[in-house]
Structures are given as C-alpha cells and as structure tokens.
Chain A
Amino acid sequence: MSDVSTLGLRQSRLFTASEILGYLVLAVVIFIVIPSALDAFRLNLFGKYLTYAFVAIGLVLCWGVGGILSLGQGVFFGLGGYCMAMFLKLEASTPENTAIQSTPGIPDFMDWNQLTELPWWWVPFNSFAVTVFAIVAVPMVLAFVIGLAMFTRRVSGVYFAIITQAIAAIATILIIGQQGFTGGVNGITDLRTLMGWDIRPDNAKTILYFVSGILLFAVLFVAHVIRKSKAGRLMIAIRDREDRVRFSGYNVANFKIFVFCVGAAFAAIGGAMFTLQVGFISPTLVGIVPSIYMVIFCAVGGRSSLIGAVYGALLVNWAQTTFSESFPELWLLAMGALFIAVVMAFPMGLAGLYDDYLKRHVDRVLAPVDRMMIHRAARRESEKLSATRATQPAE
C-alpha cells in the first residue's frame, strides 16, 4: 500500500497554478484591458466577438477533446439567438407601437406576410422565464435528437461533419423560406427593450458586454469542470480509441450525446447574447458559412484549449473587422490562408504556440506556487484518507 502523502499527490486537482494564472489574465483582458482601451462602439463589437467565444468553447469540448467535429454549431447559436429575439420582438410589438399595421400587436414582418394571428409557438415567448429556459432547452433537445440518432448508430468523423453541415443548410433554407414566421432573410430586427430596459444606447451595450463576459466565465468554469472530470478524460480516450473505451464498459454514444448537448447549450447562450448586443438575429448567422467560421475560431485558438478558444474568437474577429475595413478584397484571401496555415502548420493553434515556447518559463516561475498548492491539497486529502482508513481497516 502506498503511503498516505503520495495518495494526496494523486488526487486530481481542479486547477493548477498555471491554469489559475491563465484565467486571471483572461479576466484582466476581458474586464479591464478591452473596456478601458475601446470606445463604446468598439466595445460593442468586442461584445459580439465574445458571443462567438461561447461557441468556440463548446467546440473545444466537442471537437478538440471529444473528436466530434460539428459543422452545424451555427444552428444552435441561431436557435439561442432566435429565442431571445422572439421575446424582444414581442415586447417591441405592443399594439400601441404597431397601431398602423392591419393586425396590431403582432411582429411587423408577420403583418407584412398577411398573418393575422400570432402563431401558437410564438405565444410562450411572451414570458421571459420561458424564453430563458427555451434558449438553453430548445438547442439541447435538438442536439440530443441528432446525437441520439447519429451516435447510437456510430456515425462519426467526416460523416457527422457532413450531416451537421446539411442540417445547417436545411435550417437556413427553412428560416428564409418561412418568412411569415421567422422574418425570412432579414431575420428578426428592430429589437428595442428587454423588460422595459432599452438595450440600444451605449451604456446599455457596455453593461451587456460585461454580462457577456461574466456568462463567458461561467461557461468556461462549467467546461473546465467537465474537462477535468473523469468524463473529460474519457472524452479524450474516446477521441483516440473509441473501441477500447467501449470494451472498458462505457456506452460511448451517451458521452458523445452529452458533450454535443453541452456544446449546443453554450452556442445557444452565445446566440442569445448576440441578439441582445447586436439588436437583431438573421439566417446569415445560422448557415454553413458562419458554422465553419466558428470552427476556425476554435482552431486558431487551439482546438483543445478552452482559454485559447476565447482568444481565437476575439483575435480572428478583430482581425476581420480591421482588415475588411481597409482591404475588403484581401480579407477572404487572408482568411483562406489562415485556415490552411492553422491546419497545416499550427494544428494546435495559439495554445500550441504557447505550450511550445512560453509554458516552460511560466511553469518555472509558478513551480513554487504549484508545490505549495499540491502540498496543501495533499495534506487535506491525506487527513481525510487516514480518517477513512482508520474506520475501515485493511483486510
């Protein structure tokens, strides 16, 4: 039997010192550096970028950790965004605001499309509580159904990617085609207030930026806990040797369904925050192209790094805005080259560069802190362990 103090060492720790430092730096960047360096307009843009980071974090879990590449994350992002937009649109479409319509009290695009009544499935979105629930639940249910159908039949890899891409295509065509119910190609626009609070002025957008930041950290925490749990280690095992995991007694499909649902929920939260900050949602955020861009945010940041995904989303979007303002022609070329370069030369993205060049030095500096943390954790654990061993003597 090993001695008590090494047992403490073997405990898996939720955070290492360098992880804590990583999150602290990210918090400083998001909550201090960016807000103090930018005007309200630019800050709102970064708020929009943050919403893509939610998707990228979900993709890290699905793709980087679990090996499931979904090219349909835009669908979940869009579902979250549309749920939020439906609530805001209903709030904006009071009979007084829409008195000039032939049917006052329903959203303007419905009136333009000769609808005379609110469709039944719009009605629940009058309630904010239902909306918040739906933002997470609707995409998760869809992800669950897709996952159940595909993963129990062992569809994986490129087949899964292609089918999720087809689903993204279907969703876009459906939204555009059913414009009386969805606002069509323009999406749901002209959103004004959230329970009476005007979301359009600069100070509201600044507040929403911080709300997004806080939610992002909540999502990061959940993702981190999953990643560090046995389920997280199992996902890596599934990514590398699916068969072996099965023959160790796990139902692999369940783990894949779970992580796919979590990814969908993260994307949907991002989508809802997008709607709030940008003031509209449209099918251009749902389809094949945005879905694949979300994958590239994740790839640039480092497909298996949670923190990397956030930087990836911020950097690529910031570069896109900056570039396309000054060289719109070059932007697509640069983006295409970035795709190819990341895949071929830096498959681990920014996080990989950090691991290769910086991590060593950071780890050396942090070593004493880490030792102290391990020591304290070990002491705590061994006290607990010796207590349990005292009550259950070895056979």
Chain B
Amino acid sequence: MFDGYTTSELSAIFAMQGFAGLSLFSVYVLMALGLAIIFGQMGVINMAHGEFMILGAYVTYLVSIFFAEYMPILFGAYFFLAMILAFVASGLLGMAVEWAMIRHLYKRPLDTLLATWGLSLILQQIYRSTFGAREVGVSIPDWMMGSIALTDLVEIPINGLFVMAVTLIIATGVGVMMYRSLWGRQVRAVVQNRTMAGAVGIDTGRTDRLTFGIGCGIAGVAGSAFTMIGSTGPTAGQLYIVDTFLVVVFGGAASLLGTIASAFTISQTQSILEFFLSGSMAKVLTLLTVVGILMLRPQGLFSLKLRK
C-alpha cells in the first residue's frame, strides 16, 4: 500500500492525515466529554446528545448573523460570545429536560435511552421547521481563514488549530471542575453513594440537574466549535452519536482521561486508514475494531477493578 510514495511524501501524508485526525479528535473529545459526564457519572444514556450539540451550532450561527448585521466591527470576536451563549442555551435546555424527564427514569437506564431518542426526534423536527432542512454554515472571521505552511508539503489550517485549542481549554476546564471544584466533589459523591451523599447534606436532585446541564452545555460548546470546521443541519447530531458513545465506552465510561485517550486512538486510526481505504471502509474497519475490542474487554480500556 506504500508503493509509489517517497519517504518525504509518506511522512507528509502521515502528518496531514494525523492533523486531520486531530480535528476529528477535537470533535470526538468535545462531544464525548459531555457524554462522559452524563453517561459515565450519572449512568444516563442521552441519545439526544447530538441534538444538544446542534443547538450550540445553531446558536453560533445566529450570533454570527447578528454580528454581521449589527456589529460588523466586532465580527472577528463574535465566536467567543457565541460559545458562551451556546453553553448557556444547551445547558438550560439540558436542565429542563432533566427536570421534566430524566429524573423520573434514573432507575430505568434503557428507558432513558428510548425517551431521549424521542426527544432527539422532536428537536430535529424543531430545527428543521426553524432553520430549514438544508445545512447552514457560519462565516468564519478572517483571522481564522488560511493555513500555516510548516513545510512545502505540510499545511495546517488555522481554524483546525483554533478548534484544537478550544478543545484543550475545555478538556482542562472539565478536568479541573471534576476533580477540584465543590460541584465535582458532589457529583463524584453522588455517583459513588447516592444515599450517603444525600445523608451528608448534598442536594442530590440539584446535583443531578446541574451535572446533566453542564454535560449538555459542553455539548453546546462542542457544536459551536464544530461550526468552525463544518456546516450544520438538523440531523447532523445523529451522525456522531454512535461514534461518541463508542468513544466513551471504549475509554472506560467513568474515566475522563480514558475518554480523551480513546478519542485520540479512534480518530487517529480512522483518519490514517481513510487515506489508504475508502472513507466508508476506514470507518467500518475502525468501528469493527472498537466493537471487537469491547467484546474482549467490555469494561473499556481504562477502568478499575471494583469490589462488588
């Protein structure tokens, strides 16, 4: 399969595909982080996670239009406001959904899966009625256009770099929140022993709502970042949901670091394979490998052996 390529071409291919893989990695991490919190910590299967992401993307789209219309001078910076609004919008919707639906289903995880799937259908239809069935793209500020040429053969697009930086910041932020903040301690306490956490005065209902909200909010930010590298349609979220779940499960559901490592492994495998095989076969092969490994090691790559 390497016939006909010189060494320098090959290394350039690997560098470019590696970078393409890093973009995919960013998307996976951003989507999976929210899911890892919701699924890993709360055990809730949120099939509408992709739709929360898309909400963030649409919010970003609206903000970009608003800036272009009324504040063209500040257009270069709209994205930062858009990300915050995306977080707030998806987070609030998430909290509302937790209150109305999820909290009644904590003991029936499979039913949560079906109910959130219903929710995803409803959201998709709402998006379609509001924004139309066609995909929309945002205009990227000028400073994000173009690319940096590392060598003659290797060029790195700036928007990709930006998304990666955002990913890094959010991942660090989530890690800090989870392991350093009061909320993080409460979440982990509730996860480990709900009754006891309640007994020591943690409002477990509130913690659940906040956790679900933050998980959805992060999905919103993911969607916002996503607009920088791709367009948004009503059903775009659905395309990623299976991949994202596999990322989380593959990483070992309860481990944030595992989620990141698994996002990295899966995205790199897929994008390197994509160069040599057709896109669909690369995807099939990657997914099959992941499913195969999960069959051999169902607890995922990173998980502790626990006393039952």
Direct contact of A and B (CB under 8 A): yes
Binds A, one of B67-75, B110-118, B185-193: B110-118
Nearest to A162 among chain B residues (CB) is B245
Please report the C-alpha to C-alpha distance between residue A153 and residue B242 in the assembled complex, in whole angstroms.
22
Please report the C-alpha to C-alpha distance between residue A157 and residue B253 in the assembled complex, in whole angstroms.
14
With A288-B242, A336-B119, A344-B104 given, is the CB distance from A150 to B295 under 8 Å?
Answer: yes
| Cβ-based interface call for B6 (8 A) | no
Tell me if B246 and A154 are in contact (CB < 8 A). no
Binds A, one of B21-29, B81-89, B284-292: B284-292
Tell me if A332 and B121 are in contact (CB < 8 A). yes
Please report the C-alpha to C-alpha distance between residue A370 and residue B306 in the assembled complex, in whole angstroms.
52
With A157-B109, A299-B114 given, is the CB distance from A177 to B281 under 8 Å?
Answer: yes
| Cβ-based interface call for A167 (8 A) | yes
The A245-298 residues at the B interface (CB cut-off 8 A) are 288-289, 292, 295-296
Please report the C-alpha to C-alpha distance between residue A50 and residue B238 in the assembled complex, in whole angstroms.
28
Tell me if A336 and B287 are in contact (CB < 8 A). no
Binds B, one of A168-176, A221-229, A357-365: A168-176
Chain A residues near B45 (CB-CB < 8 A) = 158, 161-162
**Contact of A347 (CB < 8 Å), options: B111, B124, B128, B287:** B111
| Cβ-based interface call for A4 (8 A) | no
Q: 1/0 contact trace for A162-202 toward B, CB 8 Å?
A: 11011101100110110000000000000000000000000
Contact size class for B?
35 or more
Nearest to A345 among chain B residues (CB) is B104
| Cβ-based interface call for A306 (8 A) | no
Tell me if A339 and B118 are in contact (CB < 8 A). yes
Chain B residues near A159 (CB-CB < 8 A) = 249, 294, 298
Nearest to A339 among chain B residues (CB) is B118
| Cβ-based interface call for B265 (8 A) | no
Contact size class for A?
35 or more
Chain B residues near A296 (CB-CB < 8 A) = 114
Main secondary structure of the interface of A (DSSP, over half): helix
The B111-170 residues at the A interface (CB cut-off 8 A) are 111, 113-115, 117-122, 124-126, 128-129
**Contact of B113 (CB < 8 Å), options: A149, A150, A161, A332:** A161
Chain A residues near B118 (CB-CB < 8 A) = 335-340, 343
**Contact of A170 (CB < 8 Å), options: B43, B111, B288, B295:** B288
Please report the C-alpha to C-alpha distance between residue A332 and residue B120 in the assembled complex, in whole angstroms.
10
Tell me if A344 and B119 are in contact (CB < 8 A). no
| Cβ-based interface call for A325 (8 A) | no
Chain B residues near A166 (CB-CB < 8 A) = 242, 245-246, 287, 290-291
A170 CB → nearest B CB, Å: 5
Tell me if B280 and A174 are in contact (CB < 8 A). yes
| Cβ-based interface call for B8 (8 A) | no
| Cβ-based interface call for B283 (8 A) | yes
| Cβ-based interface call for A329 (8 A) | yes
Please report the C-alpha to C-alpha distance between residue A333 and residue B124 in the assembled complex, in whole angstroms.
9
Chain A residues near B43 (CB-CB < 8 A) = 158
Chain B residues near A289 (CB-CB < 8 A) = 238
The A136-150 residues at the B interface (CB cut-off 8 A) are 149-150
Please report the C-alpha to C-alpha distance between residue A292 and residue B126 in the assembled complex, in whole angstroms.
20
With A149-B295, A163-B294 given, is the CB distance from A343 to B124 under 8 Å?
Answer: no
Q: Which of A158, A174, A337 has the most CB of B within 10 A?
A: A158
Tell me if B245 and A340 are in contact (CB < 8 A). no
A71 CB → nearest B CB, Å: 8
| Cβ-based interface call for B278 (8 A) | yes
Please report the C-alpha to C-alpha distance between residue A166 and residue B246 in the assembled complex, in whole angstroms.
8
Please report the C-alpha to C-alpha distance between residue A335 and residue B296 in the assembled complex, in whole angstroms.
37
Tell me if A158 and B124 are in contact (CB < 8 A). no
Chain A residues near B290 (CB-CB < 8 A) = 166
| Cβ-based interface call for A207 (8 A) | no
Tell me if A177 and B109 are in contact (CB < 8 A). no
| Cβ-based interface call for A69 (8 A) | yes
Tell me if B115 and A329 are in contact (CB < 8 A). no
Chain B residues near A344 (CB-CB < 8 A) = 101, 104-105, 115
**Contact of A340 (CB < 8 Å), options: B119, B124, B291, B296:** B119
B255 CB → nearest A CB, Å: 15
| Cβ-based interface call for A155 (8 A) | yes
Tell me if A162 and B117 are in contact (CB < 8 A). no
Please report the C-alpha to C-alpha distance between residue A163 and residue B111 in the assembled complex, in whole angstroms.
17
Chain B residues near A158 (CB-CB < 8 A) = 43, 45, 109-110, 113
With A69-B110, A173-B283, A177-B281 given, is the CB distance from A155 to B242 under 8 Å?
Answer: no
Q: Which of B126, B278, B294 has the most CB of A within 10 A?
A: B294
Chain B residues near A174 (CB-CB < 8 A) = 280, 284
Chain B residues near A163 (CB-CB < 8 A) = 249, 291, 294-295
Tell me if A153 and B295 are in contact (CB < 8 A). yes
**Contact of B125 (CB < 8 Å), options: A149, A154, A332:** A332
Chain A residues near B105 (CB-CB < 8 A) = 343-344
Tell me if A167 and B298 are in contact (CB < 8 A). no
Tell me if A153 and B283 are in contact (CB < 8 A). no
Tell me if B291 and A170 are in contact (CB < 8 A). yes
Chain A residues near B291 (CB-CB < 8 A) = 163, 166-167, 170
Please report the C-alpha to C-alpha distance between residue A329 and residue B249 in the assembled complex, in whole angstroms.
35
Please report the C-alpha to C-alpha distance between residue A163 and residue B245 in the assembled complex, in whole angstroms.
9
Chain B residues near A347 (CB-CB < 8 A) = 108, 111
Tell me if B115 and A340 are in contact (CB < 8 A). yes
Tell me if A329 and B284 are in contact (CB < 8 A). no
Tell me if A343 and B111 are in contact (CB < 8 A). yes
Q: Which of A165, A167, A288, A343 has the most CB of B within 10 A?
A: A343
Chain B residues near A71 (CB-CB < 8 A) = 113
Please report the C-alpha to C-alpha distance between residue A299 and residue B111 in the assembled complex, in whole angstroms.
10
Tell me if A155 and B280 are in contact (CB < 8 A). no
The B196-242 residues at the A interface (CB cut-off 8 A) are 238, 242
| Interface pairs (28), CB distance under 8 Å | A149-B296, A150-B298, A155-B298, A157-B110, A161-B110, A163-B294, A166-B246, A166-B287, A166-B290, A166-B291, A169-B242, A169-B287, A170-B287, A173-B287, A174-B284, A299-B114, A329-B128, A329-B129, A333-B121, A333-B122, A338-B118, A339-B117, A339-B121, A340-B122, A343-B111, A343-B118, A344-B105, A347-B108
New A-B contacts (18) at CB < 8 Å, excluding given A165-B242, A339-B119, A340-B101? A69-B113, A153-B296, A158-B109, A159-B249, A159-B294, A161-B45, A163-B249, A163-B295, A166-B246, A166-B290, A170-B287, A170-B291, A173-B284, A292-B117, A336-B118, A338-B118, A339-B117, A347-B111
